[in-house]
């Protein structure tokens, strides 16, 4: 089992690197990876050639083009095309080369903007998506349906077991701190930190601060991925449906952007004021995912938000000068 050949796609990112850490801690010692320069996942021929040569037994799909509201709004074509191609190439090549177990990672943005809260798996495709990240969300929904469809068509004949996990908003070691392309936690950490060292009187945050968000530390996410992949097939399939097979992955707790900003301001020790730019979009008003199903499957998170944020800021200070 520990010598199983595992391919982690996207190992350089926050999610992929966390998966590598957890797999190694669990004792898995036959992990294969490729950088973007070594393997362009958008190139179908190259992906097929890679799988033909390496023949992994398991695949974790952590590779994706990701970003916050700003990049999703500016580059919608890139977000839908790149993500569709990456996941389609990997899933199809995995199938053609005998991969029986695969885990696809999606996002909470797959759910309708005004989905019932907390969002259960059955809320998928019940309403309109949030416009600011619709292209990305559609790509991720397609990934879920790809896994479902391969299971439905080839599950019995080829013994396929392709699973999908939908993490909530993630944060942690290896996050992206780009001034414009980052998600809310790394963006706020950088703004408050730079506000502190530059002695700024105020820091401006997009939106009203009212939206509620759920967060999960990436190390908890990685542990959940390995746990779900290791779960007995019979037990797993007992709790999912053939055409609603994805599983939410969240903490079950939510916090307003305003309250999150106050906590980070305190952790960073920034002394200035917080201003909210209400001319900028808020995104969905609320995005709490139900974690009832994954708890039923036997998993729960370990890292409490405030402790996780302290850990992240400690990591950020070590790399800030390199950004």
Q: What is the DSSP track for 68-130? A: -HHHHHH-HHHHHHHHHHHHHHHHHHHHHTT--EEEEE--GGGS-TT--SSBPGGGTTSSPPP
Residue 283: pLDDT over 80: no
Question: Which secondary-structure segment (H or E) carries 166?
Answer: strand 161-167
* Confidence grade of residue 247 (pLDDT, cut at 50, 70, 90): very high
Mean pLDDT, residues 262-278 taken together: 97
Task: State the CB neighbour count (10 A cutoff) for residue 46.
Answer: 16
Range of the domain at 142: 6-322
pLDDT of residue 70: 80
pLDDT of residue 230: 96
Q: What are 29-43's pLDDT values in tens digits? A: 999 999 999 999 999
* SS3 category, 163: strand
pLDDT of residue 202: 97
Residue 1 lies in a domain: no
Handedness of CA 147, 224, 129, 69 (dihedral sign): negative
Mean pLDDT, residues 190-196 taken together: 96
What value does the mean pLDDT of the chain take?
95
For the chain, the domain total comes to: 1
Residue 153 lies in a domain: yes
Percentage of residues in the chain having pLDDT higher than 90: 88
pLDDT of residue 1: 74
CA dihedral 254, 310, 60, 104 (to 10 degrees): 20
Q: How far apart are CA 217 and CA 51, in angstroms?
A: 31
Residue 180 lies in a domain: yes
Write down the residue that tokens 């992206």 correspond to. 176
Q: How far apart are CA 183 and CA 211, in angstroms?
A: 14
Mean pLDDT, residues 144-164 taken together: 97
pLDDT of residue 281: 83
* CATH, residue 154: 3.40.50.720
pLDDT of residue 32: 98
- Which of 70, 136, 177, 270 is the catalytic position? 136
Q: Which residues contact 278 (CB under 8 A, 6 or more apart)?
A: 207, 208
Write down the residue that tokens 């399939």 correspond to. 237
Residue 14: pLDDT over 90: yes
Whole-prediction pTM: 0.93
Residue 167: pLDDT over 90: yes
What percent helix, strand, coil does the chain show, rounded to 5? 45, 15, 35
* SS3 category, 216: strand
Contact status, residue 145 vs residue 138, Cβ threshold 8 Å: no
Contact status, residue 179 vs residue 19, Cβ threshold 8 Å: no
Contact status, residue 47 vs residue 36, Cβ threshold 8 Å: no
pLDDT of residue 141: 98
Look up 136 and say whether it is catalytic: yes
* Confidence grade of residue 284 (pLDDT, cut at 50, 70, 90): confident
Residue 199 lies in a domain: yes
Residue 135 lies in a domain: yes
Mean pLDDT, residues 17-38 taken together: 97
Q: How far apart are CA 94 and CA 113, in angstroms?
A: 33
Lowest-pLDDT choice from 212-221, 253-262, 276-285, 309-318: 276-285
Q: What are 53-104's pLDDT values in tens digits? A: 999 999 999 999 988 778 888 999 999 999 999 999 999 999 999 999 999 9
Give the closest residue to 11 by CA, choosing from 45, 43, 34, 40.
34
278 phi and psi angles, rounded to 5 deg: -75, -5
Residue 113: pLDDT over 80: yes
Residue 204: pLDDT over 80: yes
Residue 291 lies in a domain: yes
Give the closest residue to 258 by CA, choosing from 243, 272, 276, 271.
276
Residue 304 lies in a domain: yes
pLDDT of residue 95: 98
């Amino acid at each position: 089992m520990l010598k199983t050949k595992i391919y982690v796609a996207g190992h350089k990112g926050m999610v992929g690197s966390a998966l590598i850490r957890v797999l190694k801690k669990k004792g898995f010692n036959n992990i294969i990876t490729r950088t973007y320069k070594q393997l362009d996942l958008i190139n179908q021929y190259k992906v097929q050639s890679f799988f033909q040569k390496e023949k992994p037994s398991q695949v974790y799909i952590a590779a994706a083009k990701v970003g916050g509201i700003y990049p999703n709004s500016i580059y919608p074509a890139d977000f839908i095309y790149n993500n569709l191609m990456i996941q389609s190439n990997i899933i199809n090549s995995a199938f053609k080369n005998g991969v029986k177990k695969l885990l696809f990672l999606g996002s909470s943005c797959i759910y309708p903007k005004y989905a019932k809260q907390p969002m259960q798996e059955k809320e998928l495709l019940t309403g309109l998506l949030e416009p600011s990240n619709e292209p990305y969300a559609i790509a991720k929904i397609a990934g879920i349906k790809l896994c479902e469809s391969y299971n439905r068509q080839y599950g019995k004949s080829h013994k396929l077991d392709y699973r999908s996990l939908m993490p909530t908003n993630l944060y942690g070691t290896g996050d992206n701190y780009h001034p414009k392309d980052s998600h809310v936690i790394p963006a706020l950490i950088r703004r408050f930190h730079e506000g502190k060292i530059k002695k700024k009187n105020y820091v401006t945050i997009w939106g009203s601060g009212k939206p509620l968000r759920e967060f999960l530390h990436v190390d908890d996410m990685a542990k959940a991925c390995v746990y779900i992949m290791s779960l007995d097939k019979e037990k797993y399939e007992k709790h999912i449906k053939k055409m609603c097979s994805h599983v939410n992955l969240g903490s079950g707790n939510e916090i307003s952007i305003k309250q999150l900003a106050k906590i980070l301001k305190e952790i960073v020790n920034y002394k200035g004021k917080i201003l909210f730019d209400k001319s900028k979009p808020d995104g969905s008003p609320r995005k709490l995912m139900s974690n009832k199903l994954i708890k039923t499957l036997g998993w729960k998170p370990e890292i409490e938000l405030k402790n996780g944020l302290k850990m992240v800021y400690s990591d950020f200070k070590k790399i800030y000068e390199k950004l």
